[in-house]
Structure 1
Amino acid sequence: MNYLGLLSSLLFLSNLDAFHYSKLAQYVDSHQEEYVEVLREWVAVESDSSNILKRSHVHHMMDVTAQKLRQLGGTVQLINIGNQELPDGQTITLPKVVTAQFGNDVNKSTVCIYGHTDVQPAKPEDGWATDPYNLTEVDGNLYGRGASDNKAPVLAWIHAVEAYKMLDMELPVNVKFVIEGMEETGSNGLDSMILAHRDTFFSDVDYIIISDCGWLSRKPALTYGTRGNCYFFAEVQGPKQDLHSGVYGGTVIEPMTDIVGLLDTLISPSGKILVPGIREAVAPLTDDEWKMYQDIEFDLDHYKSKIGVDQLMYSNKVDLLAHRWRYPTVSIHGIEGAFSDPGTKTVIPAKVTAKFSIRQVPNMEPATVEKQVRDYLHSGFAKRKSPNTLKVTMVIGAKPWLADIQDPLYEAGKAAVKRVFNSEPDMIREGGTIPIAKTFQDVTGKSIIMIPIGGFDDGLHSQNEKISRYNYIEGTKLFIAYLHEVAQIKKDTV
């Protein structure tokens, strides 16, 4: 064998590949102002999926998304996913799901990119320093609702495909998109859509990529797991109407007293979940996980400073990350029916509904958690001997998702991060819930990777949400590089 000739050929191919990446990266740099303007146009659409009065904006956002993909020459469809039933019994049309396809070469792998273009609610009076729907750049940060979650990542994937096409370079893989408009309210209708198109649109998909998450620190990351979410309403009904506390206080057993007492039994001051059976179901932390968490870049002092607290539940990095990612938590979100406006109101609410959630992890099952919580609360309520009535309902039962970090998808991700950022990525999990990941895994059976480009301080769902120009532009380059790296998987296994 001519080893010198083989080495020469490998060096030539490597240099050619580097030249192509350099050219693509230069294209991205030269078009970054255009990318920012497109993001500004998208942020200006108030696509708040939780507010039915803004549903027309969500429909418009899906049309805008479809048009952007059509401009690149993709085969684009707007898929009708049915209606949404409102609490008052009315129904409204759900936003259509946008699908697109670029390339159908049977000799190439096919990746499917998932994203969403709906957003959380935002009002200037909530504490925004800028207009949430007018993208504003301050010190290299692009502020606006949906900038990081999830409009910039969706656009970065579109820009990545566009760069290949505008430079007349062949896409290294076939690329499909699935973009929805109801993620922030539970992805209504999407599970059914995926199941209905499993043997058509998804039949030739090899890998699924999600970029609806963020880095843990200033270091790039790849995400391999998310927690699930069991969300509960606990309703206590008492008298037939609200009562004056001066006239009736001391004579009735108040629903608010009952519900506060029940909530106090869910979790201890030290964070221990008190519902029997939940902690016992959790998969134990392995030695390999402990070592991985130990090596992750994470600063506890900066974390405390960022969220504005003096003390955390745990004082070391491994414990904190483990309880943020791979242990269940109970969070109490609020009480409906209670007086919460400014000022004073001496009222005894007739009915109150507590809202709380349990973030679930492997090996917990939503149906089991629902029974455990319902039985536990009803047992505790019976001990109170209250004449009021208790109703416990689980309104969300989203499963956790976990990937195999030895999957070639993650090796491709590491190579892409190395190429763009010249560093190894942190391998992280996400404490939040992305239900569609588990649906994709269960319905299609395909490997899934989460590749975040959002910053650790982007303020998702919060006031002053932003994405940095750096993450937006370098993230586009990361996606370009990943399309190349994931194409090598099939080649390497031939």
Structure 2
Amino acid sequence: MEQFLEYVEKHERDFIERLRKAVAIPSVSGDPAYRPEVFRMSEFLVAELKALGASVETRDLGKQNWHGQELDLPPIVLATVGNDPSKKTILVYGHYDVQPALIEDGWNTSPFELVEDDQDRLVGRGSSDDKGPVLGWINVVEAHKSLGLELPVNLKFCLEGMEESGSEGLDALIYDEASKYFKDVDAVCISDNYWLGTTKPCLTYGLRGVSYYHMKIKGPRADLHSGVFGGTVHEPMTDLISVMSKLVDPNGKILVPGIYDEVREVSPEEEKTYDNLDFKIEELHDAIGNKTNIHDSVRKTLQCRWRNPSLSLHGIEGAFYNPGDKTVIPACVTGKFSIRTVPDMEPKKISELVVKYCKDEFAKLGSKNEIDVYCTHDGNYWLSSPEHPNYVAAAKAVETVYKVKPDLTREGGSIPVTLSFQDALNKNVLLLPMGRGDDVSCTALVFSSHSDE
């Protein structure tokens, strides 16, 4: 271990330069103009892995229909380092695409140029999500190879280029390769999330699911003028606002009957995981840029973020939203909202409750308009156990390097591939974040340049 850590310290600048090259590739998967750059990023990773002696394969995922435009999907990069049958095999998942980034979005520096700031942080798009963590694993392989040290496990990589755009094609590949490329995998490790705070590592053992809904209310054949028809017709927007206002109260309580009946109660063991977490309410204030938090205690705030369901209103399609005034009565509007689900909420049951409640509330209005409520996505929650040997080993590793026990956390967001790997391979999945807790709240994502952070 000492020899390994000494190598890491000595080659810090080399690792930074590798990240600099990766950040410079604007691999934005959600913009067709940047699709060639996503392919270029896959080629960069293939070259890096092959240079370290890895056995590398790529899988063609075919085409994508992008609003009528046919685009090639970037490949899945599969790489193997070691195939000793006496060793465990760890599958590492990561993604090499990034979200869009423009200097006018509020960046202080050019998004696709890695910059070292006055806090000794590395700033650049993808440096923390997820190019930095992917390269972190590659750096591990390089260090062992250069030192002539034997890796204690076999490593397999599964790296995709469409995570920021729905991971199109990935699920099918995971299930198809479960008995082939992934057949010898003993455990899965994903480093695509963040620490709770900025000074202490964590292990994440749970994620909320998400069910997304559209509530469409249709009235007249076409948009109407409020001066001519206002007060004479049932207006779809009025109906929609009325029903949507009955979904959740200002304190975040979901008003759909039966929702909380499906939620697993907090166990004494789970309650203990909230003791002495490295998190302060002030960090929430910093993240949101205000003091509009509902709860004052850290415990209640984190429970509402991690293990309680929430309902959020997201927008209205079909409504006037441009600057200025317009006296239109929209003929058809669609409200969009989602529910973050937790153990033991079953998505189909939740959708039944939501659809029935919305239609019942609409019926109370006595409106002659028509309503349709439907779920467009129902990703399930994911929950593992910190007592699993995979987590015990990870906790021991964190304590060895950082000299502190990691926080055990859950997260409010969703990483669908976690559940896909667990279900397809029937293996334990560990979330081992490398990004600090303030990475997501900074204008530019950051990745510490110190090996001990």
**TM-score, normalising length: structure 2:** 0.94
**Pair 1:93 & 2:93 matched:** no
Deviation at 1:276, TM superposition (A): 2.0
Q: Which residue of 1 aligns with 2:147?
A: 167
Deviation at 1:134, TM superposition (A): 2.0
The change in CA–CA distance for 1:441 and 1:250 in structure 2 (over 3 A counts) is same
**Pair 1:318 & 2:299 matched:** yes
Deviation at 1:379, TM superposition (A): 2.0
Deviation at 1:294, TM superposition (A): 2.2
Please tell me the residue identity of whatever aligns with 1:142.
L
Deviation at 1:351, TM superposition (A): 2.9
Q: Distance in 2 between matches of 1:71 and 1:341?
A: 52
Which of 198, 206, 210 is the matching residue for 2:186?
206
Deviation at 1:413, TM superposition (A): 1.1
Q: Which residue of 1 aligns with 2:250?
A: 269
**Pair 1:103 & 2:82 matched:** yes
Please tell me the residue identity of whatever aligns with 2:312.
S
Deviation at 1:275, TM superposition (A): 1.4
Which of 74, 99, 119 is the matching residue for 2:98?
119
Where 1:61 maps in the other structure, the secondary structure is helix
Q: How does 1:51-450 map to 2 (within 5 A)?
A: 51-88=31-68, 91-139=70-118, 140-217=120-197, 218-450=199-431
Deviation at 1:63, TM superposition (A): 2.2
Q: Distance in 2 between matches of 1:379 and 1:394?
A: 17
The change in CA–CA distance for 1:356 and 1:87 in structure 2 (over 3 A counts) is farther
Deviation at 1:181, TM superposition (A): 1.4
Q: Which residue of 2 aligns with 1:45?
A: 25
For residues 88-139 of structure 1, what are the alpha-carbon distances to aligned partners after superposition, in whole Å with 9 as ceiling and x for unaligned? Answer: 4x54332211110011010111100011112222222222222222222212
**Preserved CA contact (<8 Å) 1:122 1:463:** no
Deviation at 1:81, TM superposition (A): 2.3
Deviation at 1:247, TM superposition (A): 4.2
| Mean Cα deviation higher: 348-357 or 363-372 | 348-357
Q: Distance in 2 between matches of 1:34 and 1:466?
A: 18
Please tell me the residue identity of whatever aligns with 1:435.
P
Q: Distance in 1 between matches of 2:444 and 2:223?
A: 38
Deviation at 1:53, TM superposition (A): 3.6
Q: Distance in 1 between matches of 2:449 and 2:376?
A: 38
Deviation at 1:87, TM superposition (A): 4.8
Q: Distance in 2 between matches of 1:47 and 1:335?
A: 31
Please tell me the residue identity of whatever aligns with 1:250.
G
Aligned residues: 451
Q: Distance in 2 between matches of 1:38 and 1:422?
A: 27
The change in CA–CA distance for 1:123 and 1:284 in structure 2 (over 3 A counts) is same
Where 1:293 maps in the other structure, the secondary structure is coil
Q: Distance in 2 between matches of 1:257 and 1:466?
A: 44
Where 1:294 maps in the other structure, the secondary structure is coil
The change in CA–CA distance for 1:235 and 1:65 in structure 2 (over 3 A counts) is farther
Q: Distance in 2 between matches of 1:107 and 1:412?
A: 18
Q: Distance in 2 between matches of 1:79 and 1:269?
A: 47
Q: Distance in 2 between matches of 1:37 and 1:254?
A: 59
Deviation at 1:245, TM superposition (A): 3.7
Identity %: 44
Deviation at 1:69, TM superposition (A): 1.4
Where 2:274 maps in the other structure, the secondary structure is helix
For residues 364-407 of structure 1, what are the alpha-carbon distances to aligned partners after superposition, in whole Å with 9 as ceiling and x for unaligned? Answer: 12222222222222222222233333332322211111111111
Please tell me the residue identity of whatever aligns with 1:252.
V
Q: Distance in 2 between matches of 1:474 and 1:241?
A: 62
**Preserved CA contact (<8 Å) 1:294 1:317:** no
Which sections of structure 1, spanning at least 5 residues, go unmatched?
1-20, 476-494
Please tell me the residue identity of whatever aligns with 1:169.
L
Q: Distance in 2 between matches of 1:339 and 1:45?
A: 38
Q: Distance in 1 between matches of 2:101 and 2:19?
A: 17
Q: Distance in 2 between matches of 1:179 and 1:118?
A: 10
Deviation at 1:333, TM superposition (A): 1.8
For residues 180-235 of structure 1, what are the alpha-carbon distances to aligned partners after superposition, in whole Å with 9 as ceiling and x for unaligned? Answer: 11212322211110110111111101110011111111211111111111112222
The change in CA–CA distance for 1:50 and 1:250 in structure 2 (over 3 A counts) is farther
Q: Distance in 2 between matches of 1:247 and 1:37?
A: 66
Deviation at 1:341, TM superposition (A): 3.3
| Mean Cα deviation higher: 367-376 or 443-452 | 367-376
Q: Distance in 2 between matches of 1:55 and 1:233?
A: 30
Name the structure where helix makes up a greater proportion of residues. 1
C-alpha RMSD of the superposition:
1.9
Q: Distance in 2 between matches of 1:45 and 1:342?
A: 36
Q: Distance in 1 between matches of 2:108 and 2:114?
A: 12
Where 1:310 maps in the other structure, the secondary structure is coil
| Mean Cα deviation higher: 110-119 or 234-243 | 234-243
